Amino acid sequence: MSSQTIQFLQSCRSDDEIDTVRLVDCVIIDAVRSGASDIHIEPWESSVAVRIRLSGVLNELVHLPSDLLPKIVGRLKIMANLIGHETTLPQEGRAPTFEEAGHVVLRISTFPTIRGEKVVIRIFDPRGRSFDLEGLGIEEDTLGVFKGMLSKPTGLILMTGPTGSGKTTVIYAALHHLIERAGPSISVATVEDPVEFNLPLIAQSQCNPAREYTYPIALRSLMRQDPQVIMIGEIRDAETANIAVQAGLTGHLVLSTIHAANTPGVFARMINMGIEPFLLASSIMGIMGTRLVRRNCPVCAEPYQPEDTILRNVPEALRDTAQFMKGVGCAACAHTGFSGRVSVTEMLTVSENLRDAILQKMPTRQLQEIAVGDGLLTLWDKGLRRVMAGETTLEEVLRVIGMEGF
Ligand SMILES: [Zn+2]
């Protein structure tokens, strides 16, 4: 990758000569062109580290002299309409970009640290972002169940997974799928914080907690707007949880995301928010867990043997027959061995057994065992399938999915 940032810095004769406006532009251009999802600008002991997140992993772009930090942060604050002299409190804002950076939208957030402000820039790139449900690479078993649930007029579908695991893309694709199927005869509304992409034929509302336009307030108003399908960006408080469940029980299809360690953990999370187990058991249709793992580079992938300590995690029956594959690194994959990412999902549906267990408020671990007994293929199972198919490495699946719940 030819770096605009490096080229620009080389053209400056001394640190005093560095034009920070151009420097910031160069960093953004480099990040966008390499397909990064985030830029981290962080004051370290003796330099400012500029790193970009590529396929989920942070990579160093450049280190800059420490005294440039205030100027760089100042420039980013101007771009996002933030308060320049406020350096001791976190701030967040959005900034459009210019043609060289593909007109992507940036969400810029600042965070005060003892060495100065750290800035993280999230890049929203509408180009090449597909909201075609079939084109997301979701495994067929998950997709079939998911589409079945989307065809129901009422109930709650929840997504769980860490930031950057593709939850939002899946939800947007689901809404797109509903609109494609029903056209303008269906009323779809969202409440989000923030709205990441504008979708046609959907009423998207952006929360603004600073002006007390919160999830619960937005949702209470929205319920009077006769919606059929409601997307809630995230369930993170009791009132939102309650509205989501009530809406799902009263003739609305509700899609949302929620943070939990794993899919069965969602029940405990909702119960902790004060939702009665019987309401959960009757409103939730399914919970989809998502992760993204890096895909082996098709040009340089070769058979390899994982180390014994890692191999131990694989069931014996699979170990002997498996042909493990790994990218060794080539020009096509910038010597990373990986090219793009592939999704790994699990789909927890509420069976009779599971419903009984939820009503008894059984702990998450037991819910997990019951779900597995009823045929749930966990993220780990699904990740191993990707490994067995040679699509990714065993190490990558362990890194992203680990051995959660096992
Ligand atoms: Zn390669």
Q: What is the pLDDT of residues 274-291, one digit of tens each?
A: 999 999 999 999 999 999
CA of 158 to the centre of ligand 1 (A): 36
Q: Are 269 and 256 in contact (CB under 8 A)?
A: no
| Domain stops at, among 77, 102, 124 | 124
CA of 55 to the centre of ligand 1 (A): 14
Q: Are 302 and 326 in contact (CB under 8 A)?
A: yes
The number of distinct structural domains making up the chain is 2
Residue 404's pLDDT is 52
Q: Does residue 405 lie in a domain region?
A: no
* pTM for the whole structure: 0.81
Answer yes or no: do 102 and 144 share one domain.
Answer: no
- Percent of the chain whose pLDDT exceeds 70: 98
Domain extent for 20: 4-124
| Domain stops at, among 77, 96, 124 | 124
Answer yes or no: do 154 and 53 share one domain.
Answer: no
CA of 370 to the centre of ligand 1 (A): 41
CA of 338 to the centre of ligand 1 (A): 6
pLDDT band for 320, please (50, 70, 90 cuts). Answer: confident
CA of 335 to the centre of ligand 1 (A): 6
Q: Are 143 and 151 in contact (CB under 8 A)?
A: no
Residue 131's pLDDT is 86
Answer yes or no: do 228 and 182 share one domain.
Answer: yes
Answer yes or no: do 221 and 256 share one domain.
Answer: yes
Residue 56's pLDDT is 87
CA of 87 to the centre of ligand 1 (A): 43
Answer yes or no: do 159 and 101 share one domain.
Answer: no
Task: Report helix, strand or coil for 67.
Answer: helix
Gap between the Cα atoms of 221 and 213, Å rounded: 10
Residue 406's pLDDT is 42
pLDDT tens track for 49-83:
999 999 889 999 999 999 999 999 999 999 999 99
Residue 200's pLDDT is 80
CA of 173 to the centre of ligand 1 (A): 30
CA of 1 to the centre of ligand 1 (A): 14
Q: Does residue 406 lie in a domain region?
A: no
Answer yes or no: do 242 and 383 share one domain.
Answer: yes
Answer yes or no: do 101 and 164 share one domain.
Answer: no
In sequence order, the 6+-apart residues with CB closer than 8 A to the CB of 360 are: 277
Closest CA to 166 of 133, 191, 118, 205: 133
Gap between the Cα atoms of 240 and 226, Å rounded: 18
Q: Are 285 and 350 in contact (CB under 8 A)?
A: yes
Greatest Cα pair distance in the chain:
71
The CATH code of the domain that includes 64 is: 3.30.450.90
CA of 53 to the centre of ligand 1 (A): 19
CA of 280 to the centre of ligand 1 (A): 46
| Domain stops at, among 101, 124, 147 | 124
In sequence order, the 6+-apart residues with CB closer than 8 A to the CB of 27 are: 5, 39, 41, 50, 61, 62
CA of 337 to the centre of ligand 1 (A): 5
Q: Is residue 128's pLDDT more than 70? A: no
CA of 146 to the centre of ligand 1 (A): 33
Task: Report helix, strand or coil for 148.
Answer: helix
CA of 262 to the centre of ligand 1 (A): 32
Residue 106's pLDDT is 93
Q: Are 103 and 146 in contact (CB under 8 A)?
A: no
Answer yes or no: do 120 and 138 share one domain.
Answer: no
Q: Is residue 310's pLDDT more than 70? A: yes
CA of 327 to the centre of ligand 1 (A): 6
Q: Is residue 405's pLDDT more than 80? A: no
